[in-house]
Structure 1
Amino acid sequence: MEFFHLSNNSFQGELTSSICNATSLEFLSMSHNYFTRTIPYCISSSLQVLNLSHNKFICTIPHCIGNSSLAISVLDLQMNRFSGTIPQLFEKGNNLMTLNLDGNMLEGKNSGSYWRAWQIEGTQFSHNRLIGASPSSIGNLRNLESLDLSSNKLVENFPLKLASFDSLGFLNLSRNKLEGCVPMVSHFETLSSDSFKGNKGLHGFQLDTPCYITHEKSQPLLPSSDTGFFEFGWQPLLLGFICGASFGTSMFWV
């Protein structure tokens, strides 16, 4: 069996471990049911699509999903009750393209091996308890089209590397604690204030708090007493002018 689809039913209870016998399974979808407890620790290594969203799974996301980390391209675990940190599932060279962990109780730093999924196109982590800053490796996700980190506890300056992602069509960083300025780039022009609201320290043209770039004040035309003017200052010139004027006056009367 390669395809198993039981979504949108009223199944409940624990997901049976007999699914472990389907060693050739490539597609598994059991979303929108009432499954509880944990995911079996034996997911097929040939699995490419796993959708267990909108259930009542609890505890931590099992590390055994890593058994299929090289093959899996779509992982959807949104709207469950997973807690703990995001496990280090994905090694370099994996095929992950879509990862959705929205609406759980995941916590800890916003880091993990999913940032090594360089082919990834969509990541959703909203409504969790992630903290900290986006890892520098986010700059490697050149195929990223959708990123949702809203309603977490991220604290950092706006991740400027996102400004270079021309493919990024959807971005939601709202309701965090981000600061800084949203860059004025073409693919951000279609984003509304909803993408950034709820970050008190964030500014940009999408918001009603524009960014101000400060420049150093220009030097005055006449330098101050401690500033060089033709290498030696303006006081000797003034003294010379006074002396010259006095000498000229004396010569006039002579």
Structure 2
Amino acid sequence: MSNIKIKSKNLNVYYGDKQALFDVNLDLNEKEVTALIGPSGCGKSTFIRCINRMNDVIDICKVTGNIEMDGIEINDKNLDVVSLRERVGMVFQKPNPFPKSIYDNISYGPKIHGKGETKSELDQIVENSLKKSALWDEVKDRLDEPGTSLSGGQQQRLCIARAISVNPEVILMDEPCSALDPIATAKIEELIDELKKTYTIVIVTHSMAQAVRVSQKTGFFHLGKLIEVGKTEKIFKNPDNKMTQDYITGRFG
């Protein structure tokens, strides 16, 4: 029986007068990959942004309902958002390395969070993070070069290394491969498979094939509602909802 890491109950999100999510109830299991699929603008990214409170930075955004991580309400006014974001890493659609060296890209987070007091501790964190993100062998002799000098696929793995450098429990990925070629995409997918042994991963993807390849559970969103969620195999082979069926067979979307 897998443990539930994150639980959302009747989660609603409003941007001003526009409602973006409607009563979303979704459990995310620990050390498992959950894929969120559905047409553009249907609430997938809005949902994952609730998990690390990225919506806080949008003034007109209002969130109601509950979202809990390990039984603690994420939207609690007294919750320290900085420590939440340390526990919940995020990787975006477009690789966005800092304009710093490869080394500094990764050591930056641990320094801010007070991890790695000495140079040798930081060296170790950088090396471990790059090894975990399958990038170490490609960059170990170039750590002083700018992160932006890497290829797109390498930059995305650098961003994953950066996300895991502070030792999070959850990694959110918002279409992490949509800017990458098939070979780079395959590398990221292999990496996701490896990372799920340690982390709870939520991936928003436009690629159904990718959802099938990397996830154990899939949620289908449409117009801000979670239409159906279940084991990935079931969702793709035998969904309960006709709308899910129509989406995955390409009748709309």
The TM-score by the shorter chain falls in which range? under 0.3
For normalisation by structure 2, the TM-score amounts to 0.27
Which has more strand, going by share of residues? Answer: 2
Name the structure with the higher helix share: 2
TM-score by length of 1: 0.27
